[in-house]
Structure 1
Amino acid sequence: MTEPQINSTDSTSLPSSAWVRFLRSYGPTPNNANLFDEYVSNALKRAKVQPITLPSPMLEDIKKRLADGKPGSLLIAGTAGDGKTYHCRSLWTFLGGEPRDWSENSAIKELELVDGRRAVFVKDLSELDDSQSDRALGLLENSVFGGEDKTFVVVAANHGQILERLRDLGSRQRRVHPLRKPIQDAFLRSGEALDRLAIFDLSQTTHRHSLEKVLSAVARHPEWENCAQCPLQAEGRTCSILENRSRLLGISDSGRFARRLGDLVEISRLNGWHLPVRDMLALVSNMILGHKDAKEGLMACADVARIQDGQLTEQGSLYDNVFGSNLSRRRAMDRPVFKALSLFGIGDETTNGADGLLVYGNDDVRLGATFAKLVANDQIYGGTSAFVAAQRRYLEGDEIARLDSGASEFLKRLESQRRRLYFTLPEEEVDYNFWGMTAFRFAGDYLDVTAALRDKKAINEAIRARLVRGLNRVMSGLLIENNEMIFVASSGGFTQSKVSVLCDTEVSARRSGGVGMTVKIDPLTERPMLDVSLAREAGNSVRFSLTPVRFEFLCRVAEGALPGSFSNECLEDMLAFKAKLLRKAELIRVQSLGDEDDEPSTGDDTLTLKFIEIEQDGHGFSRPVTVKVSS
Structure 2
Amino acid sequence: MTPPAAHWIRFLRNYGPLPTNGNLFDEHINAALKRAQVRPIELPTPSVDAMAEKVAAGEVRSILIAGTAGDGKTYHARKLWERLGGDPKGWDRHEKTKTLELAGGRALTFVKDLSELTPEQGLAVLAGLESSALEPGHPVGYVIACNHGQILDRLRTFRSPADGSASRLLDDVQRAFLEPGRTIPGLMLNDLGGATQRHSFRAVIKAVTEHPDWSHCDGCQLNAGDRQCPIAANRRRAMGADDAGLFISRLEDLIDLARLNGAHLPMRDLLALVANMLLGHPDAKDNLMTCGDVARLQEERLTDRASIYRNVFGANLGHRRAMARTVFRTLGSFGIGEESTNTIDGLLVYGQHDQSLRIDFDRLVANDRVYGAGAGYLTQQAQYLEGDESAREEQTAAAFVQRLSDQRQRLFFTLPAEDAAAYPFWSLSMFRFAGDYLALQRCCEQNLAVSPHVRGRMVRGLNRVMTGLLLDNTDTIFIASSGGFSQSKISVLCDTEVPAKRVGNGAGLRLRFDQITQRPAIEVHVAPGAAASVKFDLTPVRFEFICRVAEGALPSSFSNECYEDLLAFKVRLLRKAEHVRQQQMTEHDSEPGEPTADAGELQLAFIEIEENGSGFLKRVTVGAGA
Q: Judge same fold: TM > 0.5, yes or no.
A: yes
Q: 1:385 to 1:31 in 2, by over 3 A?
A: same
Q: How does 1:33-432 map to 2 (within 5 A)?
A: 33-170=22-159, 175-189=165-179, 192-429=182-419, 430-432=421-423
CA distance in 1, matches of 2:529, 2:173: 34
CA distance in 1, matches of 2:407, 2:529: 55
- What is the match of residue 469 of structure 1? 460
CA distance in 2, matches of 1:630, 1:341: 64
Secondary structure of the equivalent of 1:507? strand
Q: Give CA-to-partner distance per residue, 1:384-427, whole Å, 9 cap, x none.
A: 11111111111222221111101110001110000000011111
CA distance in 2, matches of 1:528, 1:201: 22
Q: 1:547 to 1:595 in 2, by over 3 A?
A: closer
- 1:104 aligned partner, one-letter code: R
CA distance in 2, matches of 1:307, 1:46: 27
Once the 2 structures are TM-superposed, how far is the Cα of residue 331 of structure 1 from its aligned partner?
2.2
- 1:276 aligned partner, one-letter code: P
CA distance in 2, matches of 1:312, 1:513: 63
- What is the match of residue 5 of structure 1? none
Contact 2:134/2:185 (<8 A) preserved = no
* 1:619 is the counterpart of 2:614: yes
| More deviation, 96-105/470-479 | 96-105
- What is the match of residue 13 of structure 1? 2
Contact 1:530/1:545 (<8 A) preserved = yes
Contact 1:533/1:542 (<8 A) preserved = yes
- What is the match of residue 8 of structure 1? none
Q: 1:162 to 1:596 in 2, by over 3 A?
A: same
- What is the match of residue 545 of structure 1? 537
Q: Give CA-to-partner distance per residue, 1:346-398, whole Å, 9 cap, x none.
A: 00011111101111111111111111111111111110111111111112222
CA distance in 1, matches of 2:311, 2:178: 35
- What is the match of residue 527 of structure 2? 535
TM-score (structure 2 length as normaliser)? 0.96
Find the partner of 1:574 among 566, 574, 585: 566
Secondary structure of the equivalent of 1:19? helix
Q: 1:583 to 1:228 in 2, by over 3 A?
A: same
Contact 1:170/1:176 (<8 A) preserved = yes
- 1:392 aligned partner, one-letter code: A
* 1:558 is the counterpart of 2:550: yes
CA distance in 2, matches of 1:378, 1:629: 78
Contact 1:142/1:148 (<8 A) preserved = no
- What is the match of residue 518 of structure 1? 510
CA distance in 2, matches of 1:493, 1:361: 57
CA distance in 2, matches of 1:259, 1:603: 64
Q: 1:72 to 1:19 in 2, by over 3 A?
A: same
- 1:516 aligned partner, one-letter code: G
- What is the match of residue 9 of structure 1? none
CA distance in 2, matches of 1:596, 1:230: 86
- 4+ long deviations beyond 4 Å: 170-176, 595-599, 601-604
RMSD of aligned Cα (Å):
2.0
Gaps of 5+ in 1: 1-11
Gaps of 5+ in 2: none
- 1:511 aligned partner, one-letter code: R
Contact 1:71/1:143 (<8 A) preserved = no
| More deviation, 92-101/60-69 | 92-101
- 1:14 aligned partner, one-letter code: P
- 1:546 aligned partner, one-letter code: L
Contact 1:71/1:149 (<8 A) preserved = no
| More deviation, 267-276/188-197 | 188-197
Q: 1:595 to 1:513 in 2, by over 3 A?
A: closer
Contact 1:494/1:579 (<8 A) preserved = no
Once the 2 structures are TM-superposed, how far is the Cα of residue 176 of structure 1 from its aligned partner?
4.4
Once the 2 structures are TM-superposed, how far is the Cα of residue 250 of structure 1 from its aligned partner?
1.1
- 1:13 aligned partner, one-letter code: T
Secondary structure of the equivalent of 1:553? helix
TM-score (structure 1 length as normaliser)? 0.95
- What is the match of residue 600 of structure 2? 605
Secondary structure of the equivalent of 2:612? coil
Identity of aligned residues (%): 52
CA distance in 2, matches of 1:433, 1:41: 46
Contact 2:60/2:185 (<8 A) preserved = no
- 1:621 aligned partner, one-letter code: F
Find the partner of 2:429 among 411, 423, 438: 438
Contact 2:127/2:160 (<8 A) preserved = no
* 1:451 is the counterpart of 2:446: no
Q: Give CA-to-partner distance per residue, 1:232-257, whole Å, 9 cap, x none.
A: 11221011100100111111111110
CA distance in 2, matches of 1:283, 1:146: 44
CA distance in 2, matches of 1:367, 1:328: 33
- 2:89 aligned partner, one-letter code: R
- 1:402 aligned partner, one-letter code: R
CA distance in 2, matches of 1:274, 1:30: 21
CA distance in 2, matches of 1:498, 1:629: 31
CA distance in 2, matches of 1:192, 1:51: 34
Contact 1:35/1:278 (<8 A) preserved = yes
CA distance in 1, matches of 2:41, 2:441: 32
Once the 2 structures are TM-superposed, how far is the Cα of residue 104 of structure 1 from its aligned partner?
2.0
Secondary structure of the equivalent of 1:528? strand
Q: 1:68 to 1:603 in 2, by over 3 A?
A: closer
Q: 1:234 to 1:458 in 2, by over 3 A?
A: same
